[in-house]
Amino acid sequence: MTLEPDAIVQVLLRERLRVTALAASVVRDVHAADDIFQQVVLSALESRSQFHDVGHVLAWSLRAARHRAIDLARSRQLRPLPDEVLDLLESRSGDPAGTHWSDRDEALHHCMSLLAPAARGLLQMKYGEGLTAAAIATRLQRSSDAVYQSLSRIHRCLRECVERQMTGVEKPVREGTS
C-alpha cells in the first residue's frame, strides 16, 4: 500500500525541524538547509510509490537530506561532520528518552543562553562561520590546543546541561558560563 501525498507531507512538516537541523549541521547555512528540505519534500512526493509507512518516509527523508547536504558542503569546500555524528543526528537511537526533537532543541537553546558570551562566540566562529580551530586560534591569538580544549569543555557542559534539562534536574552550567 502506497502512502498518499497528504500523509507524506504531514510527516515531513511535523519533522521539518529535525530534517532541516540535520542539513544545517552539515552545510552550516539555515537558508541552504531550508532549500534542502524543500528538495527532499519534492523528491519524497515523486518517490511516494516506494513508501509503505510513515517511519520509512522519515528515515528516507533524513538520509536524503544528509546526502544532499554533504554534496552541497563539498561543493562549497566545507568539511562535513564525521559520519558518526551524522548517524546520531539521523537516528532515533540518539533520542533514548523518546522525547521529541523540539524538546532537545529547546533544552539546548536554554543551555546556550547560560554560556558566557566568550563561549557563545567560540561556538559561533566554529559552527556559524565554519572556521577551523586553527583559524579561530589565529583570530583570537591563542594556541590551537587552547581552542580545542575550550570547545571540548563547552561541548561537555552543553551536553551535561541538556541531559539535566531533559531529566528535569536543574543545575547551573559550570564551565564556560558567565
Alpha carbon 21 to its chain centroid, in Å, reads 4
Which of the listed residues 90, 114, 145 is the one where a domain comes to its end? Answer: 90
CA-based torsion, 27, 173, 18, 94: positive or negative: positive
80/86 Cα distance (integer angstroms) = 9
127 and 107 in one domain?
yes
pLDDT digits (tens, 9 = 90+) for 22-69: 888 888 888 888 999 999 999 999 988 888 888 888 889 988 998 898
pLDDT greater than 80 at residue 83: no
54 and 18 in one domain?
yes
Q: What is the pLDDT of residue 84?
A: 64
Q: What is the pLDDT of residue 89?
A: 60
pLDDT digits (tens, 9 = 90+) for 88-143: 666 643 444 444 456 777 778 788 888 898 998 888 888 777 778 889 999 999 99
Name the β-bridge partners of 177.
115
55 and 18 in one domain?
yes
Query: Which of 11-20, 27-36, 76-85 comes out lowest in average pLDDT?
Result: 76-85
CATH of the domain at 67: 1.10.1740
73 and 118 in one domain?
no
Residues 73-92, buried b or exposed e (16+ Cβ, 10 A)? beeeebebbeeeebeebbee
Alpha carbon 71 to its chain centroid, in Å, reads 17
- The total number of structural domains that make up the chain: 2
Name the β-bridge partners of 115.
177
Asked if residue 174 is part of any domain, the answer here is no
162 and 136 in one domain?
yes
Which residues constitute the domain of residue 85?
Answer: 5-90
CA-based torsion, 89, 92, 94, 99: positive or negative: positive
Q: What is the pLDDT of residue 93?
A: 36
Q: What is the pLDDT of residue 76?
A: 82
Asked if residue 96 is part of any domain, the answer here is no
20 and 82 in one domain?
yes
